Structures are given as C-alpha cells and as structure tokens.
Structure 1
Amino acid sequence: MSEIPLEEAEPAKKAYGDLTEGEREVVREALTVIAREPAAGREIPGWRPPSVEYTYTTPLAHDSAEAITVVYTHTPGMGVTVVYYFRDPQVVDP
C-alpha cells in the first residue's frame, strides 16, 4: 500500500514548532492516518475542485477535553498539503 505524498505549508511548519512534544506526537499520528486516507477528515464545503479542503480533529488523550485539528488540502494525483495545526477545545460527552 502506497501512502499519499504529504507536505507542510509554511504556516503549518511554524504552528508545529509552537506545539508541545505531546501535541506533536498526536499530530504525527494524525498525519499517518491522513497519508493513508486523505478523506479521513471532515470536508470543508465550497473548496474549488480538484482540491478538497479537510479538517481532521483528534483528542490529545482519551479523557481530554482538548484536541489538535489538522487543516489540509488533498489534490488527487498531487498529494496532501497541511495548511495549519491548532489546539482545539472540544466538548467531551459525559
């Protein structure tokens, strides 16, 4: 199985540098999923074809109320470009 080529835009590289090591580990795991299946994220409507923009959000820990969101675009035949990473407060269901 071949993985989709993945690159980071400058804003993503800067944002990655601002994350803690634990947050970076979560990002690396998310990127592994995205490289295998770009449609794993939630599509952001209104993007111009053939590119599709997605967000992929993953909790920092199983019991965490915070998450990391990866914003990226996928262009079939070209690969994935990570646009940005950010900490994302989320509501955890009781």
Structure 2
Amino acid sequence: MNDVPLEEAEPARKAYVDLTEGERDMVRNALALIARDPAAGREVPGWRPPSVEYTYTTPLAPDTAEAITVVYTHTPGMGVTVVYYFRDPQVVDP
C-alpha cells in the first residue's frame, strides 16, 4: 500500500514537544504504520464524512499499561491529519 500524506495540526506539534524521547520513538513508529494504513486505528463514531476520526494506542513497553495515543483524522484522497498525542495511563486493547 502507498504511504498516505500525513501532517500534524498545531496542537499535535505542541503535545509532541512534551513527550519524552522514548515516547517520541513510539509516536514515530505509530505514524509510520498510520501512513501505510490509516484504518489501523480505532474509528471514533459520529464523525462527519468524508473524514473519519481515529485513535491509535501503542503501549510504551510490553510489560506496562502505559501507552501513547495518537488522535488523527483521515480524509480519503487528502491524507491524514494528526490532531493530538497524549499519554494514556492504561491500554484498553492489548
């Protein structure tokens, strides 16, 4: 699959600065996966077409419940916009 154009909104850029280097590594890995497959995240219901909003949560380590969640929108033909990054104290999906 081709990579989907990906950009960051201002709130995401500001949140990225507050992440630790290890958390930034996890974000970069998540963004690479999202760029290959925007539907990799969990769809947020109720979003208005043609855009779809998703969250993608990635654990910080195999033995911890802490995670980083990436909130993003995908508009087919337009690309992905990362809305925000945040530390998640608990992973919902293993």
Q: Do they superpose with TM above 0.5? A: yes
User: Runs of 4 or more off by more than 3 Å in structure 1?
Assistant: none
Q: Mark the runs of 5 or more structure 2 residues left unpaired by the alignment.
A: none
Equivalent residue number for residue 43 of structure 2:
43
How far residue 65 of structure 1 moved from its aligned partner, in angstroms, is 1.5
Q: What are the superposed Cα offsets for residues 34-57 of structure 1, whole Å, 9 maximum, x if unpaired? A: 000000000000000000000000
Q: Specify the code of the residue in structure 2 equivalent to 1:81.
A: T
For the 8 Å contact 2:6–2:79, the answer to whether it is kept is yes
Q: What is the alpha-carbon distance in structure 1 between the residues aligned to residue 19 and residue 31 of structure 2? A: 15
Q: What is the alpha-carbon distance in structure 1 between the residues aligned to residue 78 and residue 91 of structure 2? A: 35
Q: Percent identity?
A: 85
SS of 1:16's equivalent? helix
Q: Specify the code of the residue in structure 1 equivalent to 2:57.
A: T
The question of 1:84 aligning with 2:91 is answered no
Q: Compute the TM-score of the two structures, normalised by the length of structure 2.
A: 0.95
Q: Specify the code of the residue in structure 2 equivalent to 1:15.
A: A
Aligned length: 93
Q: Compute the TM-score of the two structures, normalised by the length of structure 1.
A: 0.95
Tell me which moved more, 56-65 or 6-15: 56-65
How far residue 91 of structure 1 moved from its aligned partner, in angstroms, is 5.3
The Cα RMSD (Å) is 1.5
SS of 2:3's equivalent? coil
Q: What is the alpha-carbon distance in structure 1 between the residues aligned to residue 91 and residue 25 of structure 2? A: 22
Residues 92, 78 of structure 1: alpha-carbon distance in 2 compared, 3 angstrom cutoff: closer
